[in-house]
Amino acid sequence: MPLLGPARHAEGMFRLRRGTVRARFTLLYAAVFLVSGIGLLALAFLLTRVRMTTVATGTPRPGDQTQHQLQQLVAGSLVALAVMVAVSLVAGRLLAKRVLRPLRLVTNATRRITADSLDRRLAVAGPADEVKDLADTIDELLARLEASFTAQRRFVANASHELRTPLATMRASLDVAVAKPQPAASTVALADRLRPQLDRVEHLLDGFLVLARVQHGAPADATRVDIEALVDEALRERAAQIEAKGLKVRFERRTMVAAGSPALLTRLVDNVIENAVQHNGDGGWIGITDEGGTLAVDTGGPVLDQREVDRLAQPFERLGEERTGSSGLGLSIVSSIAAAHGGRLALTARPEGGLRVSIWLPAYPS
C-alpha cells in the first residue's frame, strides 16, 4: 500500500511528459492564471508605489485622507481583478478552442463517413495523446466494420448466384416432366403451382444481387439516362396489368435526365412503377411527375401511418396484408440505387390517403 501513491505519481508524471490533453489543459490554464496574478500584483504594486511616493514628500496627510487612499487602493485592486478575470476568460476560451480543435476535426471527419464510405480513414497526425488514440481507435473500428460489411455483401452475392443453379435445375425438371407425351394431370397441376413460386424466388435472388452490387459504391458505367423514357417503358410493360385493374395513369411529362448506370436506373424506375401498380386497388389511379430532378409517383388508397411508411425503405418491410405477396425488396432496392448515385428516396403518406414515392437524382451536366 505505501508504494501505491508513488507509483501513481510516477505514472502521472510519465503521462504528463507524454503531452496528454489533460496535461496541456493544466499547463495552459495554469499559465493563464499565473500571468493574470502577475498582472494583478503589478497593478497593486504601482498603486502602492504612488502612495509611498506621496508619503516620502513629507506632505502632511490627515487620517481621513489616508483612509481615502486606502479605499482607492482597494477599489483599484477590485477593478484590476475584474479586468484580469475577463482577460483570463477570453484567453481561456481561445486556448480551449485551440486545444480542442483536433477533436472537432475528428468529429467532423467521422460524421462524413457513411456505410458507403467505410474505406475512408481519419489518419490524424500529431503527438501521441488522447486525441490521436481516439482517432486510431475509430480507424480500427472502421476497418473492422468495412471488413464485416464486405464479407456480408460478398456472402449475399455469392449465395444468390449459387442458388440460381438449383433453381434452374428445378425449372428444367418441371419443363421436362410437362413436355412428355400425355403428362399426368397431377404433374401439370404441380408445375402450374411451382412455376410462380420459382419465379418469385428468382426475382428475390435477383433483388439480392442488385442490393449487393449497388452497396459496393458508385456505379462505374455512369452515363446520360433519360428517366422519362424509362417511365414510358415501365408503363408499357405493365399495360395489361394496368388495364386489368382499371387504373388511371396521369403522367405529367418533363425533361428529366440523370447521370448514372442505365441498368440500375432502369431497375429503379421499374421497381417504383411496379410498386405503384401492384399495390393499387381496382379502379385506382397513379400520378407521375418528373420535375426539378425529382421523380414523384403518387397512388391513392387508405390513409397510412407515416411511421410505418418510413420502414418501407428497409428490406422485407411491407404495409398491410395486401403486401404479403411481394418480396419486400422493391423500395429498399430503389433506396440503395438512389443512394449509390448520390440521390435519395423519400416516402410520404399522403394526408388524403395513399402514398407518394419521391426520388431525387443528380442531373446529368449539360
Confidence band, pLDDT 50/70/90 cuts, at residue 247: very high
Sign of CA dihedral 9, 10, 16, 22: negative
For a pLDDT cut of 90, what percent of the chain falls above it? 14
d(CA 331, CA 270): 11
Q: SS3 string of the chain? A: CCCHHHHHHHHHHHHHHHCCHHHHHHHHHHHHHHHHHHHHHHHHHHHHHHHHHHHHCCCCCCHHHHHHHHHHHHHHHHHHHHHHHHHHHHHHHHHHHHHHHHHHHHHHHHHCCCCCCCCCCCCCCCCCCHHHHHHHHHHHHHHHHHHHHHHHHHHHHHHHHHHHHHHHHHHHHHHHHHHCCCCCHHHHHHHHHHHHHHHHHHHHHHHHHHHHHHCCCCCCCCEEEEHHHHHHHHHHHCHHHHHHHCCEEEEECCCCEEEECHHHHHHHHHHHHHHHHHCCCCCCEEEEEEECCEEEEEECCCCCCHHHHHHHHCCCCCCCHHHCCCCCCHHHHHHHHHHHCCCEEEEEECCCCCEEEEEECCECCC
Q: Which has the closest alpha carbon to 206: 168, 161, 241, 237?
A: 161
The class of domain 223-360 in CATH terms is alpha beta
User: Is 48's pLDDT higher than 50?
Assistant: yes
pLDDT digits (tens, 9 = 90+) for 295-324: 999 998 888 888 888 888 776 666 654 444
pLDDT for 11 = 43
Lowest mean pLDDT among 41-55, 169-183, 226-240, 253-267: 41-55
pLDDT for 288 = 93
pLDDT for 264 = 84
Cβ distance 5 to 68 under 8 Å? no
pLDDT for 324 = 43
Residue 79 phi, psi (nearest 5): -65, -45
d(CA 335, CA 349): 17
Distances (CA, A) of 339 to 147, 268, 315, 335: 21, 11, 15, 6
Cβ distance 340 to 215 under 8 Å? yes
Q: Which residues pair with 285 in a beta bridge?
A: 248
In the chain, the largest separation of any two C-alpha atoms, in whole Å, equals 139
pLDDT for 101 = 79
Say how many C-beta atoms besides its own lie within 10 A of residue 253's C-beta: 12
Residue range 9-26: average pLDDT? 52
pLDDT for 69 = 64
Residue range 338-355: average pLDDT? 89
User: Is 269's pLDDT higher than 80?
Assistant: yes
Q: Do domains 133-214 and 223-360 have the same CATH topology?
A: no
Residue range 154-175: average pLDDT? 80
d(CA 183, CA 126): 78
pLDDT for 106 = 83
User: Is 205's pLDDT higher than 60?
Assistant: yes
Distances (CA, A) of 7 to 1, 2, 4, 19, 84: 10, 9, 5, 19, 38
d(CA 131, CA 106): 8
Residue range 113-122: average pLDDT? 75
pLDDT for 2 = 39
User: Are β-strands 248-252 and 285-291 bridged in parallel, bridged antiparallel, or unpaired?
Assistant: parallel
What are the boundaries of each domain within the chain? 4-112, 133-214, 223-360
pLDDT digits (tens, 9 = 90+) for 54-85: 554 555 455 566 667 666 766 776 677 677 77
Report whether CATH 3.30.70.3340 matches the domain 133-214. Answer: no
Confidence band, pLDDT 50/70/90 cuts, at residue 343: confident
Residue range 84-91: average pLDDT? 73
Cβ distance 280 to 267 under 8 Å? no
pLDDT for 18 = 46
d(CA 177, CA 189): 11
